[in-house]
Structure 1
Amino acid sequence: MKNIFLILLMSFYVSIASASDGDLWKKSTLNEIVTRGSLQVCLDTGYLPFEMRDKKGRIVGFDVDIAKSMANAMNVKLDIRNTAWDGIIPALLTSKCDIIMSGMTITAQRNLKVNFVDPYIVIGQTVLISPKLKGIVKSYKDLNDPKYTIATRLGVTGEFVTKKYMSKAKLNLLETESAAVLEVINGKADAFVYDMPFNAIYASQNKGKIVHLDHVFTYEPLAWAIRKGDPDFMNFLNNYLAQVKGDGTYNKIYHKWFETDNWMSTIQ
Structure 2
Amino acid sequence: MSGAHPRPTFISVILALALSAASPALARPLSTIETDGILRVGLTGDYAPFSLRDARGNIAGADVTMARALADALGVKLLIVPTTWKTLQADLQAGRYDIAMGGVSVTPDRAAIGDFSVPVMRDGKRPIVRCADKDRYISVEDIDKPNVHVVVNPGGTNERFAKAHFTHAALTEHPDNRTIFQEVAEGRADVMVTDGAEVDYQSRLHPGVLCPAAVPDAFDHAAKAYWMSKDQPLKDAVDKWLTDCLKDGCYEAALKQAAETKTE
Question: Under a length normalisation based on structure 2, what TM-score does the superposition of the two structures give?
Answer: 0.81
Deviations 1:203-229 (A, max 9, x none): 22223333321542221211111123x
CA distance in 2, matches of 1:162, 1:241: 32
Establish whether residue 68 from structure 1 lines up as the match of residue 73 from structure 2.
no
CA distance in 2, matches of 1:251, 1:150: 31
| Structure 1 stretches of 4+ moved >6 Å | none
Contact 1:28 1:233 in 2 (8 A): no
SS in 1 for 2:261: helix
CA distance in 2, matches of 1:187, 1:246: 43
**Which runs of structure 2 are paired with 1:214-229 in the superposition (5 Å)?**
215=215, 216-228=218-230
CA distance in 2, matches of 1:214, 1:34: 48
Provide structure 1 residue ranges, at least 5 long, that are not aligned to the other structure. 1-26
CA distance in 2, matches of 1:249, 1:205: 23
Contact 2:126 2:213 in 1 (8 A): yes
2:98 paired residue number = 98
Higher RCO (C-alpha 8 Å, min separation 6): 2
Cα RMSD (Å) of the superposition? Answer: 2.1
Deviation, structure 1 residue 36: 0.3
SS in 2 for 1:80: strand
CA distance in 2, matches of 1:194, 1:166: 13
1:243 paired residue number = 244
Letter paired with 2:117:
V
| Structure 1 stretch displaced more, 48-57 or 37-46 | 48-57
CA distance in 2, matches of 1:129, 1:262: 22
Provide structure 2 residue ranges, at least 5 long, that are not aligned to the other structure. 1-26
- Report the CA distance shift for 1:233/1:202 in structure 2 as closer, same or farther (over 3 A): same
Contact 1:49 1:197 in 2 (8 A): yes
- Normalized per residue, which structure has more helix? 1
CA distance in 1, matches of 2:115, 2:224: 12
1:41 paired residue number = 41
SS in 1 for 2:87: helix
Question: Under a length normalisation based on structure 1, what TM-score does the superposition of the two structures give?
Answer: 0.80
Letter paired with 2:224:
L
- Number of aligned residue pairs: give it: 236
Identity fraction in percent: 26
